[in-house]
Chains A and B, each alone.
Chain A
Amino acid sequence: MRQINKMIKILILFTAALIMTTSMMAQDRFPRPEFETEYVRPLTTTPQPQAGTWAIIDVASMILALSLASYIALKTRSRRQMFILMTACLLYFGFIREGCICSVGSLQNIVLALFNNSTFLPWTVAAFFIIPLIFTLFFGRTFCAAVCPLGAAQDIVSVKHTKIPTWAGRVLGLIPYIYLGFAVLFAATGSAFIICKYDPFVTIFRFSGRFSMVMLATAFVLVSIFINRPYCRFFCPYGVLLSWMSRLARRHVTVTPDDCIQCRLCEDACPVDAINFPLPEKAPETRAKGLKRLGRLLLILPAAAILGGFLFSSMNGILSQVHPKVRLEKRLQAEETGRVTGTTLETRTFRTMGISRELLKAEVAVIVKQYRIGGWLLGIFLGLSFVIQLIGLSLKRTRADYEPDRANCISCARCFQSCPKERERLKANEMESI
């Protein structure tokens, strides 16, 4: 046994020596010259990573901006101040820091770090993910109002607030859940970071990007002129998490600083259609009817979860192809069986690297299995969130006043001006200061 071990060791040493000599040979075709003149060889420069120096400034600005945004939304209630803060954040987080790291994308790093033990997670990324959530839990979505550069890039060009029909808003509002679900799935399996890849606004911040993304960015900016914040409302996956936090917010902006007098002046003031109108009290349901409805909903809930889970887990073959290794394996197979002609850069490179096919196959099998489990979780999440949204629609609520919708309100401070009570308050403040 010991002899075999020794033999193996010698063999390894021998091959290592062989590899080293060949690689040395590749670099030694010509002798290094000895110069007769005074010439000294310059040194290769190695600029160091700058992450460390920016980290503290970034996180401090994030906390400062969030505190200011929350103070403006809840205390001074000034759209002008909010706009100035928003522009400053767009300049700093957007154009100076080139949109990286951002809270929206940080979500994927968190997921990757949670599912993959070996990944390094910079503490700034963790801070960028958690701090806005905590602020929202206390003050509502003030992060969206002014701090997020993606939101600011749309809000700053907003001219007209086209009202979107309620049903269309609800249906489009489901897209962020789907986007969130897939982003988490692809990040957890280490396949791709789709939020960053398809983020239209970084191309604006960096003045560069793929042609398709530049077109997408242009489209979003053009639409933003007429429809306020299309990305935030109908795509942003981080917004889903923020809306959950905002529902529970300890304090949240109100349209009026005082008691609502139901003057209806704020009805058209909200650019994101997030003001809930008063609902008259309806006759209470009979107990039997209510029980029946509850029973039906309780049945639908697990059914939707199981259906969704089954659907997405059985799609694991297709979904897993987002992972480059799965794509490579599929292509290699296709080339070997003659289903396709020619090779790709990936397959050519794979063949020259001398990695065994079995190793790749084993890796791919693990990834596909992860997608089966991930597909179940994704399906359950989507099924549940769709049905819960439906339940939310069927709940009979009564509401006496005009109130911001806690989930969708982004605390942009636009509606305050429309309230006559707010104008009274401002006038009183003015008198006081005189």
Chain B
Amino acid sequence: MSEDNKKNKRREFLRDSARTAIGVTLGALGGLLLGRSQKEETVWQIDPDLCTQCERCADFCVIKPSAVKCIHAYDVCGFCELCGGYHQPDAHELDTAAENQLCPTGAIKRTYIEDPYYEYTIIEEKCIGCAICVKGCGAFGNGSFYLQIRHDRCLDCNECTIAAACPSGAIKRVPANTPYMLRGKLGNS
């Protein structure tokens, strides 16, 4: 056997053994990681009681507009004519005129139901998750508006950039089979 051939054989042997070793390591790592993934699956969600309505949810989500939207607990709502989440604090008239609305994108629909009650509905396509209405509703109303991460939009980024930006730590992992932290009857059940 020539010198060159011998060298090649040795190199091949070393390469084969290194490959086998790394293959086994990767397999072990895979097993270990699969073990980790057996834990209860979790997703991101906002705890409405910890939320301080800092408006960062509108800007920090990796998708635009944000995966965070305002949602409405109808069974908590007072259906008021003057709505702290809908009207500007110094609104001239309690109507649907744009200058009287709080929402910067006009994402809340106000519908007359019966005297003196009005229904407020979030138009999700327009909502940017800025929480301005949430702040108003929490300050003057029943707190039926609150922010939630919508799971039809959330990419479940493994490090949520809004979670990292949240100053009050309100964005946390919750079990995937109960992916919302709801208010009202839905939340209690």
Provide the residues of chain A in CB contact with B138, threshold 8 Å.
Answer: 26
Q: A28-B142, A248-B19, A349-B54 are in contact. Are A42 and B49 (CB under 8 A)?
A: no
- Closest-by-CB residue of A relative to B18 is A248
Q: A41-B74, A324-B164 are in contact. Are A27 and B37 (CB under 8 A)?
A: no
Q: Which residues, 207 to 266 on A, are CB-close (under 8 Å) to B?
A: 208-209, 244-245, 248-250
| Among candidates A121, A123, A130, residue contacting B26 with C-beta atoms closer than 8 Å | A130
Interface segment among B87-95, B97-105, B179-187: the answer is: B179-187
Task: Assess whether B167 is in contact with A49, with CB atoms less than 8 Å apart.
Answer: no
Kindly list the 5 A-B residue pairs having the minimum CB-CB distance in the complex, ordered from nearest. Answer: A30-B78, A47-B152, A208-B64, A349-B167, A126-B33
Task: Determine if B110 is an interface residue (Cβ-Cβ < 8 Å).
Answer: no
| Among candidates B72, B76, B150, B158, residue contacting A108 with C-beta atoms closer than 8 Å | B158
Q: Which of B36, B79, B113 has the most CB of A within 10 A?
A: B36
Instruction: Give Cα A47 to B26, complex, Å.
Output: 37
Number of residues from B at the complex interface, CB < 8 A: 67
Q: A35-B114, A44-B74, A120-B173 are in contact. Are A51 and B158 (CB under 8 A)?
A: no
Task: Determine if A329 is an interface residue (Cβ-Cβ < 8 Å).
Answer: no
Number of residues from A at the complex interface, CB < 8 A: 66
Nearest CB of A to B70, in Å: 11
Task: Assess whether B43 is in contact with A49, with CB atoms less than 8 Å apart.
Answer: yes
Q: A119-B36, A120-B41, A208-B64 are in contact. Are A48 and B179 (CB under 8 A)?
A: yes
Q: A122-B37, A248-B18, A350-B167 are in contact. Are A49 and B62 (CB under 8 A)?
A: no
Instruction: Give Cα A108 to B157, complex, Å.
Output: 12
Q: Which residues, 95 to 122 on A, are CB-close (under 8 Å) to B?
A: 98, 100-101, 105, 108-110, 112-114, 119-122
Task: Assess whether A130 is in contact with B75, with CB atoms less than 8 Å apart.
Answer: no
Nearest CB of A to B51, in Å: 10
Nearest CB of B to A272, in Å: 23
Provide the residues of chain B in CB contact with A192, threshold 8 Å.
Answer: 159, 164
Provide the residues of chain A in CB contact with B41, threshold 8 Å.
Answer: 51, 120, 122
Q: Which residues, 243 to 301 on A, are CB-close (under 8 Å) to B?
A: 244-245, 248-250
Task: Assess whether A137 is in contact with B19, with CB atoms less than 8 Å apart.
Answer: yes
Task: Assess whether B155 is in contact with A120, with CB atoms less than 8 Å apart.
Answer: no
Task: Assess whether A109 is in contact with B158, with CB atoms less than 8 Å apart.
Answer: yes
Provide the residues of chain A in CB contact with B152, threshold 8 Å.
Answer: 47-48, 50
Instruction: Give Cα A128 to B141, complex, Å.
Output: 47
